[in-house]
Amino acid sequence: MIKAILFDLGNTIVPFDFSRVYARLEKLCPFPAAEIPKRLATTDLVVRLETGAISSEDFVARLCAELEVTMTYAEFCELWSGIFLAEPLVPEPLLAALEQRYRLVLVSNTNAIHFEMILASYPLLRHFHDHVVSYRVGAAKPSPEIYHEAIARAGCGAGECLFVDDLAYCVEGARKAGMRAVRFESLSQLERDLRANGVEW
């Protein structure tokens, strides 16, 4: 029997699109939008930020230097948070109904800049009983550590947890940790998978 449902955040609950940020950065730095993610990929800055290895302030300073762009910390945070789209992928009434029957835990690879903005901008996240986020845990999916922490926060056995994520490798990581897990593709598919696992709302 499922007692807890663990949801990924980005592109599962809240949609995001990094190209929106790259398009804005292109106007501020000497690199075209298509080259920006390639330059970021040559560094470990995002990984270090999302696992809490560097501070947000240090990340912004180093990233601005890498992209040869000048802006304040506040300006960068506003721009960096522009990846998120307004309309959630999972409607609030569904989360509200699930909250009444199951423990809901958010499990996300994210950073302080994004997560603080998300909490302030998406009221539907109030339906989650707990948040397990990579920069606080010090580990990111699919590392076993973040799944073990999520199971502990769920307050039940791994086999009593249902994990939902849009990325196949994160779903597989959850299964290796002993959880049931499904890949998020659409709301209708999610509802079918929830019912197939005995979840009611």
Residues 1-43 have pLDDT tens digits of 999 999 999 999 999 999 999 999 999 999 999 999 999 999 9
**H or E segment and range at residue 56:** helix 56-67
Query: According to the model, what pLDDT value does residue 192 have?
Result: 98
DSSP single-letter state for residue 10: B
- In a 13 Å sphere around the CA of 162, the CA atoms on its Cβ side amount to 22
78-110 residue pLDDT tens: 999 999 999 999 999 999 999 999 999 999 999
> What pLDDT, on a 0 to 100 scale, did the predictor assign at position 99?
98
Find the helix packing angle between 168-176 and 144-154, rounded to 10°.
Answer: 70
Closest CA to 94 of 20, 23, 195, 3: 195
Amino acid identity for residue 17 in this structure: D
- Tell me if the pTM is above 0.85: yes
- Domains of the chain (ranges; CATH) run 4-15+86-196 (3.40.50.1000), 19-83 (1.10.150.240)
Residue that has been written with the tokens 């802006």 in this structure: 71
